[in-house]
Structure 1
Amino acid sequence: MNPSGVQHQAKSSSVAGPFDWYRNINKQERRTFWSCKIGYGLDGMDTQMLSFVIPTLIMLWGITTAEAGLIHTSTLIASALGGWIAGILSDRIGRVRTLQLTVLWFAFFTFLCGFAQNYEQLLIARTLMGFGFGGEWTAGAVLIGEVIRAKDRGKAVGMVQSGWAIGWGLTAILYAVLFTLLPPEDAWRALFLLGIVPAVFVIFVRRLVKDPEIYRQAKAAEKTEAPSHFYEIFAPGMLFTTIRASLLTTGALGGYYAITSWLPTFLKNERGLSVLGTGGYLAMVIFGSYVGYVISAYLTDLLGRKKNFILFAVGSFIIVLLYTQMQVSDGVMLWLGFPLGFFASGIFSGMGAFLTELFPTRIRGSGQGFCYNIGRALAAFFPLLIGMLSQKIPLGLGIGAFAAVSYGVVILAALSLPETRGKELAAQ
């Protein structure tokens, strides 16, 4: 057994190809990889539904941009709490069981959104949905991070992250189809009702995926040692790491939420695009997101975690300002969508692996869950603040300003954190 406590098949000593890491993992590791990737894709599908229907709800219900921003923000705050709780649960009841519970939760409450009769009911259902979608990321990221060997961890976790873009793209397709076939007052409900589909995925996870060996070793050790507690992430030896990692996630998520929460509304209201036009622009952003996830997954192992974060933060900083502030033609705007998605989403590919490597196994779920989700909680205020600010200044200007500050925080936090590329995990 290797130092990480994970069993692997024999590896070839020849020069590795780009996909050799996948061919060399065993059957259980592949099942884990696909369960995490599909789970994250379904998470992305359900989560992104709201941004597509907000313009329709503004038209049908007469809600303001500030009220729309409150739905975004309350969902993200709930997801932060859900992600933190899921991290603690994953250390207590297991990574796989926590993954199952979180998927069931976000699927059910997304489905419930489709029955909302007014703004208040949608706000409550969507907020409750947030608990599940935040928890799914934490459970899945810890699970895949512990299964894959150190030299390939960044690639594997990053490829799992790319599932988000696939889910986002699926929502865009469903949106285009439903809003073409149905009147708006029925189409938005049908979109949310389809959010129940991920619940079926839990059956697959329950039958085929097991907790990582390194986690089971850590739980076995707790029988003879003191049990772990989530507050250990605030102990003197871990506190500074926890703070810096939280700043890193706050910056990355703040920039991402500033862009994606309001992008459809920005394109429709300020650029005057039709539904199909908006779909075309978003398709370019989503395609760029997927490519960004994949390229960043390889770069985080090749360049190292820190350099990769800085590279994608700088790219995001430049592109988002160009995308929202330049007075350019619709054609140029379309092509700028690709690098926008590439950098804004690609920055997350290394996040799961990096947080996995920063914390010991006994408190990994708690540490990873807290850092990612306290960042999410703070970043959750960005959509609300942008929505309120847009009543006084152009929406694009608010998006650009908040995103620029966010990516500056990412760069500073990355510079202060240790490099963890190639770090072996230990069962302690």
Structure 2
Amino acid sequence: MFKWFSEISGNERRTFWACFGGWALDSLDVQMFSLVIPAIIAEWSISRTQAGLVSGATLVASALGGWIAGMLSDRLGRVRTLQWTVAFFAVFTFLCAFTQNYPQFLVLKTLQGFGFGGEWAAGAVLMAETIRNEHRGKAMGTVQSAWAVGWGAAVLLYLLMFSLLPGQTAWRVMFGIGIVPALLILYVRRGVQEPTLSAHMTRAARARHDEPASGLIVGIFAPNMRRMTLIGALLGVGAHGGYYALMTWLPTFLKTERHLSVLSTGGYLAVVITAFFCGCLVSAQLLDRIGRRKTILTFAICCVITVIAYLFLPLGNTAMLFFGFPLGFFAAGIPASMGALFNELYPGGMRGTGVGFCYNFGRVVSAGFPVLVGHMSANMSLGTAIGIDAALAYAIVVLSVLMLPETRGRALGEAALDTDLRRPLSPAPRH
């Protein structure tokens, strides 16, 4: 499975580990909040709605950060933008440890989200342009598995801190440790090189580097790019919408309608995290074997089937616990596939802008899917509402990916565009 790693160069490996480390540390910092919500609620006597507002504000800020960082990576370079975004989210995570009230925490957590979203966008483009064509899908999908590594680390840190310290101190120490990602900047500065693909850009793509940021935004909506951008954004909506509709309400469904207390234990978290990790690795292999479109289609269809089975079949307590594995497995495969596909849809001069927009537009709009589940559950069971909502989202994924070209093997140094999206792009010749 990892034979490809021995075939890449030293610079490719260093870039891989820089992005893997960045995304794992991103996940560590982001997942900490969901674990310490009870302690924060208790300390400041805030409501669940106020706690939810923190998550919503962070999500929107991360989307804006990703979009802006994508544009900056087209103007300032991938490596420099990656360094700035890592420093940004690390510093504001650290400052969260010293907040004295809810408004301060809300502001700083929102700013943390801005940096988090930016780091993904800059790292995704850097990774895609550095790794050779035949291994790009495997590398991008494997890097996405770093989210599970950071998530697991956050759970272990939570268990350690809350077993050694009182709650009002433990959550602050956890956020204080969030400064650690800043050390990644030293590794990036010493070991990661800026991709040289700018030498292969077309004359039009070069011109965009001298244009203001508004020119980059206009560029991804130019006549020969508009349809690609809109469909890519639609894919992002479906992918994020299905994930958040499912993962936001699933614990409540299992507790209130299935009465499965075992799912509140660490065993449930272990199953979900392990499944997410495995889903990323398997999709990484499939991306370069069967292509981007077939991989996303397979995972999307399996998501619909798994969600329906999980929500409507009369499964017992233990069965629900173990059935969480395929649920998390298939839910992970789609996000792990989008990095490679989105990067291959755009020429170099606007790649960061395009990737940042498609991925993060979906992230913003997806915030409405959990709200829709809550609204629908007033007139039907929560399980039915989740099933309809998630199935709708993954149906959007299927529809949108069918309208995009297959891009496996495309050389990112080539800025040529295929304006007829119904025809697959011709893969680059192998050397």
Answer whether TM exceeds 0.5 for this pair.
Answer: yes
1:414 is matched with 401
> Is contact 1:292–1:346 with CA below 8 Å preserved after alignment?
yes
Tell me which amino acid in the other structure corresponds to 2:364.
A
Q: How many residues align?
A: 411
Q: Deviation at 1:81?
A: 0.7
Checking the alignment, whether the CA contact within 8 Å between 1:157 and 1:350 is kept in structure 2 is yes
Deviations along 1:320-359, whole A, 9 cap, x unmatched?
A: 3444555533311210121121111121222111011100
Cα distance in structure 2, aligned partners of 1:257 and 1:111: 26
1:335 corresponds in structure 2 to: 322
2:291 paired with 1:307:
no
Q: 1:389 to 1:49 in 2, by over 3 A?
A: farther
* Residue 382 of structure 1, CA deviation: 3.5
Aligned residue runs from structure 1 range 5-44, under 5 A: 18-44=1-27
State the match for 2:100 in structure 1.
117
Aligned to 1:92: 75
Shift of 1:69: 2.7
Match 1:243 to one of 218, 227, 230: 230
Q: Does 1:151 align with 2:134?
A: yes
Please say if 1:364 is aligned against 2:351.
yes
Which whole-Å deviations, capped at 9, do the CAs of 1:247-297 have from their partners, x for residues lacking one?
001111112223344556666777777799432101100000000000000
Shift of 1:188: 2.5
For residues 350-372 of structure 1, the C-alpha deviation after alignment (integer angstroms, 9 at most, x for no partner) is 21110111000111011111111
Output aligned runs, 1:19-418, within 5 Å.
Answer: 19-215=2-198, 217-218=200-201, 227=210, 229-230=215-216, 231-261=218-248, 277-324=264-311, 326=313, 328-383=315-370, 399-418=386-405
Cα distance change of structure 1 residues 321 and 62 upon mapping to structure 2, 3 Å threshold = farther
- Root-mean-square deviation (CA, aligned residues, Å) is 2.8
Unaligned runs of 5+ in 2: 416-431
Shift of 1:98: 0.7
* Aligned-pair CA distance for 1:122: 2.3
**TM-score, normalised with respect to structure 1:** 0.87
Contact 1:66–1:388 under 8 Å retained in 2: no
- Over 3 Å counting, the alpha-carbon distance change for 1:154 and 1:214 in structure 2 is same
Aligned-pair CA distance for 1:219:
10
SS of structure 2 residue aligned to 1:348: helix
State the distance in 2 between where 1:183 and 1:400 align.
39
The letter of the residue matching 1:234 is: F
Specify the SS of the correspondent of 2:336: coil
Given the superposition, is the C-alpha separation of residues 92 and 155 from structure 1 closer, same or farther in structure 2, using an over 3 Å criterion?
same
The alignment-based identity, stated in percent, is: 53
Q: What is the CA deviation profile of residues 144-186 of structure 1, one whole-angstrom value per residue up to 9, with x for unaligned ones?
A: 1111122211011111111111111111111222222233333
Q: Under a length normalisation based on structure 2, what TM-score does the superposition of the two structures give?
A: 0.87
Contact 1:95 1:211 in 2 (8 A): yes
| Separation in structure 2 between the aligned mates of residue 322 and residue 266 of structure 1, nearest angstrom | 14
Q: Tell me the distance in 2 between the aligned counterparts of 1:116 and 1:270.
A: 37
Contact 2:372 2:389 in 1 (8 A): no
